[in-house]
Amino acid sequence: MAPTHGTHPVLVASNRGPVSYTKDESGELTAKRGGGGLVSGLSAIGPDAGALWVCSALGDGDREAVRRGVSEDGVRMLDIDADTHAAAYNGIANSALWFVHHMLYQTPLEPVFDAGFRRQWAAYETYNQAFAEALAEEAADGAAVLVQDYHLTLVPRMLRELRPDLRIGHFSHTPWAPADYFRLLPDDIAAKVLHGILGADRAAFLTRRWADAFTDCCRAVLGDDFDPDTRIGVHGLGADADFLRERSHREDVDERMAALREQIGTAPDGSARKTIVRVDRTELSKNIVRGLLAYRELLEDRPEWRERVVHVAFAYPSRQDLAVYRDYTAEVQRVADEINSAYGTDGWTPVVLHVKDDFARSLAAYRLADVALVNPIRDGMNLVAKEVPVVSDDGCVLVLSREAGAYEELGDDSVVVNPYDVSGTAEALHEALLVPAGERAERTKRLAAAATALPPAQWFLDQLQAVRSAGAGG
């Protein structure tokens, strides 16, 4: 008897899905839909097209929703055993793989791949297998399955074994490590990650640089086993201009702009203070502390800026289950406080730091930024760099790390920095603050055009089309 397949012609799989549930005191579940490129991209194929998003249940609310059978149309949450999920997500995905691709290890203490790591790896395999099985069950004959990111590197190979009829794509939203760095991973694990992704018909990346690094790793680690049939693609996700322009002119954003202006204040001569804005998850790779140190150097070496500039830094807590992230969050706060007590005056707070996630306030900061600081150590793309020029009211100068994926498209119109070079970044901030208004507006226009070249809907459709026409050997 032929196996019974599912009904969905298009499937997306990712750890974090488009919706999350919270449970209030009375036990009532509330669904909250998230944003991001993938969410708006997927909406391009329309709610009735039978697409299904398979994701993990992440918190208690999500798990409760799965248990009660509460779900949103087009979403299937997997209630993977909490310990298994934690080991796979915190241990392998967010520690080992994230650290390798963002080159975050600090020798001599890291990395250590010991028995504990091996147990986490076993959990990562179980977690990937759960996704592969759910996808195999839900996919219609010949369906296209788009698997997302470093959480799910083993899924393409596992799924191909279960369902050879499917068209499978894998997309990496992170950078990809250079081969020498990737080979810090134990040889067998490095090979499994690559082999897993190569189970897809197509492996895609945000920039050519990350795609080339992946191919280098395959050659270095797999040698003769490298399967050149897997098509490698590049899709540089752009900002969603229509959504951003509309959303950033709503009343809540105007209110937050007024509140921010109040906090920023005016210079002693009555002129408006300049603003250097950054908006990030509090993430080691975002390099927030070095950004603060560069700002401190600017104030120290160029006292003419004191009282005339404010660094508006939004650093939203992330991955707080990991001690190193909690420490980093505390360090960001400590350095910001230190700058404020060293340089602040009665009427001037040099660093305005906000840690409570507030999208409307982020948009308000984008609109009023004179300079946007985007200085990651490494970043798959960095959408903040792309969103600011789209939303900016009067033009904004982008200080951009050459290690962000966005550099490939935006580097020509930015002030480019080496993210480790604190003094160089201080100089770049100075230079950016001095760009005359006319030139600033011109640059911002060009940045916005480049930033929106591939809107999320088209980004998603391009991948779908490419995966459909890239069947292995076809």
How many helical (H) and strand (E) elements, i.e. helices and strands, does the chain have? 19, 15
Which residue carries 């939303």 as its tokens?
A: 391
Using the rule CB under 6 A, is 240 a contact of ligand G6P? no
CB of 88 to ligand G6P, least distance (A): 12
* CB 319 to ligand G6P: min, Å: 6
| 232 token code pair | 């490698």
Rounded least distance, CB 382 to ligand G6P, Å? 9
**Residue with smaller CB distance to ligand G6P, 154 or 368:** 154
Residue 178 and residue 379: Cα distance in Å, rounded? 13
The helix/strand/coil state of 46 is coil
Work out which of 138, 149, 370, 413 binds ligand G6P, going by CB under 6 A: 149
Q: Is 235 in the site for ligand G6P (CB under 6 A)?
A: no
Which of these, 8, 123, 100, 108, lies nearest to 54 by C-alpha position?
8
11/352 with CB nearer ligand G6P? 11
Is 8 or 173 the residue whose CB approaches ligand G6P more closely? 173
Q: How far is the CB of 299 from ligand G6P (least distance, A)?
A: 31
* Residue selected from 20, 95, 174, 349 as contacting ligand G6P according to rule CB under 6 A: 174
Binding mask 7-46 for ligand G6P (x = CB under 6 A): ---------x------------------------------
Type of residue found at 301: D
Rank residues 93 and 429 by Cβ distance to ligand G6P and give the closer one: 93
Q: How far apart are CA 430 and CA 425, in angstroms?
A: 9
Q: Is 318 in the site for ligand G6P (CB under 6 A)?
A: yes
**Least separation in angstroms between CB 100 and ligand G6P:** 14
- What mask of x and - would describe binding to ligand G6P in positions 94 to 133, judged by CB under 6 A? x---------------------------------------
Nearest to 169 by CA among 233, 77, 88: 233
Give CB contacts under 8 A, 24+ apart, made by 254-262. Answer: 254/364, 255/360, 256/358, 256/360, 256/361, 256/363, 256/364, 257/364, 257/367, 257/368, 259/361, 259/364, 260/312, 260/352, 260/361, 260/364, 260/365, 260/368, 261/368
Closest to ligand G6P by CB, 318 vs 458, is 318
Rounded Cα distance, 75 and 12, in Å: 9
Distance, in Å, from the CA atom of 148 to the CA atom of 131, rounded to the nearest integer, reads 11
Which residue, 138 or 280, has its beta carbon nearer to ligand G6P?
280
Given the complex with ligand G6P, which of 173 and 202 has the nearer CB atom? 173
Query: Of the two residues 129 and 318, which places its CB atom closer to ligand G6P in the complex?
Result: 318
Size of the site for ligand G6P (CB under 6 A): 7
Q: How far is the CB of 227 from ligand G6P (least distance, A)?
A: 25
Token duo for residue 374: 């985007």
Residue type, 277: V
Host H or E run for residue 244: helix 241-247
Report, in Å, the least distance between residue 210 CB and ligand G6P.
Answer: 12
E strand residue ranges, 345-418: 351-354, 371-374, 397-401, 415-417
Nearest residue (CB) to ligand G6P, 76 versus 173? 173
Among 173, 367, 386, 430, binds ligand G6P (CB under 6 A): 173
Whether the Cβ atoms of residue 387 and residue 412 lie closer than 8 Å to each other:
no
39, 78 contact by CB (below 8 A): no
For 147-164, the DSSP string reads EESGGGTTHHHHHHHH-T
Residue 14: other Cβ atoms inside 10 A: 21
Question: Site mask, ligand G6P, residues 277-316, x = CB under 6 A?
Answer: ----------------------------------------
Can you tell me which of 8, 160, 167, 319 binds ligand G6P, judged by CB under 6 A? Answer: 319
Q: How far is the CB of 262 from ligand G6P (least distance, A)?
A: 31
We find the least distance from the C-beta atom of residue 99 to ligand G6P, in angstroms, to be 13
Q: In the complex, which residues of this chain contact ligand G6P (CB under 6 A)? A: 16, 94, 149, 173-174, 318-319
